[in-house]
């Protein structure tokens, strides 16, 4: 779902403005500290209601201002988001919504920046979140299962910490198991689907590295979750938290049986992370049949020219609305005759420059 117009007021260092956006390709230039990442962040927040760089949205309020406003026209709907020190209000077509997921499901957005390279070296949480982004957008029931699981986990952990009413553990176990089993089977299925796409269509980006992707459940392989929860009961009571479940899952990547983190070179690891992103975007594109917004921030310093060309070639072939900061990063050859819009940012002032 592309965004055609963005208005922002009192957001970070950016001067309040309204921008008409290209449905396919938007390039953002500007010196360090001018506000390029802030512009990408505004788009991300308008689709996700949270940021990729601050835990608290109030950090995005322009210094000295009471709050920020974002407004966007998307294909088929309008979204508005108002944040001040006290509250966050999200509106779709003028109506205030209660659940963040109502906004998030509308316009899939993802960010490609240096953090993507954490997919291999980072914690399992990074890999789960990466795969779950895809599940959220392609599996209609995912969000509800996730919400139920989180609720049950929180209640179970509260009980374990308090060490009171421990007979209620059985009750919360069941509430935890039902959604966990659903999410676990989705993660297993989509790990396989990502492996297929990645080794097939995006094999070129991987440059011939053999790759296997396996879902690893967050409890012993030979047990079902009920048995595992039962088996860890005493330990969980001692430690005060739930030690087994889908919050301990991992997506394990190996090449000819060895963990990729141990054998791939730095360059190969980067290519693998990019190929993973391409595969997941491709999967969501195919199933949802909707345009995904992809924000690309400061990637050039991380990739050599050949890898850049390869990735931009693939991205431009997909049904995406791209926002790319730092246009030095874009290989002129891969942009060719395509139409795009260019925005130049100077001390927070965004100036559109039209090209075609
Ligand atoms: N809440 C805020 N209010 C006002 N200014 C802010 C706020 N948060 C950050 N800034 C400032 O906004 C400026 C722009 O930051 P931003 O990260 O968007 O720049 P950038 O163009 O991406 O730079 P770089 O090329 O170094 O990545 C910075 O100088 C930063 O200090
Ligand atoms: Mg930046």
Would you identify the CATH topology of the domain 116-288? Answer: Glutathione S-transferase Yfyf (Class Pi); Chain A, domain 2 (1.20.1050)
Read off the DSSP letter of residue 61: B
Residue-level pLDDT at 334: 55
Pocket of ligand 1 (CB under 6 A): 12-13, 30, 32-38, 60-63, 298
Looking at residue 209, its pLDDT comes to: 87
Q: In the chain, what are the helix, strand and coil shares in percent, each to the nearest 5?
A: 50, 25, 30
Q: Which long-range CB contacts under 8 A does 199-206 form with residues at least 24 apart?
A: 201/279, 201/282, 202/275, 202/278, 202/279, 202/282, 202/314, 204/310, 205/271, 205/274, 205/275, 205/278, 205/310, 205/311, 205/314, 206/271, 206/272, 206/275
Instruction: Give the rounded percent of residues in the chain with a pLDDT score beyond 90.
Output: 81
pLDDT for 263: 92
Q: Which atom of ligand 1 is nearest to the CA of 32?
A: 25
CA–CA separation, 213 and 231 (whole Å): 28
CB count within 10 Å of CB 80 equals: 17
Q: Which fold has domain 1-108+290-356?
A: Rossmann fold (3.40.50)
In this prediction, residue 39 carries a pLDDT of 98
CA 44, CA 47: separation in Å to the nearest integer?
Answer: 5
Residue nearest to atom 29 of ligand 1 (CA): 33
Domain assignments of the chain as residue spans, ordered by start: 1-108+290-356, 116-288
| Ligand 2 centroid from CA 53, angstroms | 11
- Alpha carbons 340 and 27: distance in angstroms, whole number: 7
Taking only the tens of pLDDT, the chain with its 356 residues reads: 899 999 999 999 999 999 999 999 999 999 999 999 999 999 999 999 999 999 999 999 999 999 999 999 999 999 999 999 999 999 999 999 999 999 999 999 999 999 999 999 999 999 999 999 999 999 999 999 999 999 999 999 999 999 888 999 999 999 999 999 999 999 999 999 999 999 888 888 888 889 999 999 999 999 999 999 999 999 999 999 999 999 999 999 999 999 999 999 988 899 999 999 999 999 999 998 889 999 999 887 778 888 888 888 889 899 999 999 976 655 445 566 468 899 999 999 999 986 65
CA of 60 to the centre of ligand 1 (A): 10
Question: What is the CA(8)–ligand 2 centre distance, in A?
Answer: 18
Residue 76 has a CB neighbour count (10 Å cut-off) of 10
Residue 169, token pair as written in the block = 């553990």
Q: Are 183 and 149 in contact (CB under 8 A)?
A: yes
DSSP state of 11: B
| Protein residues within 5 Å, CB atom, of ion ligand 2 | 36-37
Q: Which atom of ligand 1 is nearest to the CA of 298?
A: 27
Cα(311) to centroid of ligand 1, in Å?
A: 27
Q: Using the Cα atoms of residue 274, residue 280, residue 283 and residue 284 in order, give the sign of their dihedral.
A: negative
Q: Which residues contact 103 (CB under 8 A, 6 or more apart)?
A: 47, 48, 49, 79, 81, 90, 92, 97
CA–CA separation, 75 vs 4, rounded Å?
A: 7
- Among 15, 16, 31, 35, name the best residue to mutate to test ligand 1's pocket (greatest count of ligand atoms within 8 A of Cβ): 35
Mutational test site, ligand 1, from 10, 15, 38, 42, max ligand atoms within 8 Å of CB? 38
Q: How confident is the model at residue 24, as a pLDDT?
A: 94
DSSP state of 163: T
Look at residues 291, 324, 280, 296 and name the one whose alpha carbon lies nearest to residue 133: 280
Candidate from 29, 30, 36, 296 with most ligand 1 atoms within 8 A of CB, to mutate: 36
Query: From CA 127, how far away is CA 252, in angstroms rounded?
Result: 9
Q: Are strands 95-96 and 341-346 parallel, antiparallel or unpaired?
A: unpaired
pLDDT of residue 220: 96
Euclidean distance between CA atoms 31 and 346, whole angstroms: 7
Cα 36 to middle of ligand 2, angstroms: 5
Whole-number Å distance, alpha carbon 342 to ligand 1 midpoint, is 19
């Amino acid at each position: 779902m592309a965004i055609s117009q963005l208005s922002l007021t009192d957001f970070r260092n950016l001067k309040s403005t309204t921008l008409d956006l290209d449905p396919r390709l938007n390039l953002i230039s500007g010196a360090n500290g001018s506000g390029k990442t802030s512009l990408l962040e505004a788009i991300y927040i308008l689709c996700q209601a949270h940021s990729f760089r601050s835990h608290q949205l109030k950090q995005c309020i322009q210094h000295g201002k009471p709050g920020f406003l974002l407004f966007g026209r998307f294909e088929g709907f309008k979204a508005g988001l108002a944040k001040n020190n006290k509250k966050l209000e999200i509106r779709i077509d003028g109506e205030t919504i209660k659940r963040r997921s109502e906004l998030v499901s509308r316009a899939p957005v993802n960010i490609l920046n240096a953090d993507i390279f954490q997919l291999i070296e980072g914690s399992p949480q990074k890999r789960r979140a990466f795969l779950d982004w895809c599940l959220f957008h392609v599996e209609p029931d995912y969000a509800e299962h996730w919400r139920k699981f989180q609720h049950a986990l929180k209640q179970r952990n509260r009980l374990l910490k308090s060490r009171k009413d421990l007979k209620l553990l059985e009750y919360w176990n069941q509430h935890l198991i039902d959604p966990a089993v659903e999410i676990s089977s989705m993660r297993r299925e989509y790990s396989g689907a990502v492996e297929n796409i990645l080794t097939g269509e995006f094999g070129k980006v991987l440059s011939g590295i053999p790759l296997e992707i396996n879902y690893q459940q967050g409890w012993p392989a030979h047990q079902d979750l009920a048995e595992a929860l039962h088996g860890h009961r005493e330990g969980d009571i001692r430690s005060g938290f739930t030690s087994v479940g889908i919050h301990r899952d991992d997506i394990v990547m190996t090449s000819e049986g060895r963990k990729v983190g141990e054998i791939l070179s730095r360059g190969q690891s980067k290519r693998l992370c990019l190929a993973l992103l391409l595969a997941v975007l491709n999967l969501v594109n195919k199933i949802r049949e909707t345009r995904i917004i992809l924000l690309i921030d400061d990637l050039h310093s991380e990739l050599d020219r050949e890898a850049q060309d390869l990735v931009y070639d693939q991205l431009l072939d997909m049904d995406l609305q791209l926002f790319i900061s730092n246009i030095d990063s874009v290989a002129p050859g891969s942009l060719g005759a395509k139409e795009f819009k260019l925005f130049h940012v100077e001390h927070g002032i965004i100036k559109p420059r039209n090209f075609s």
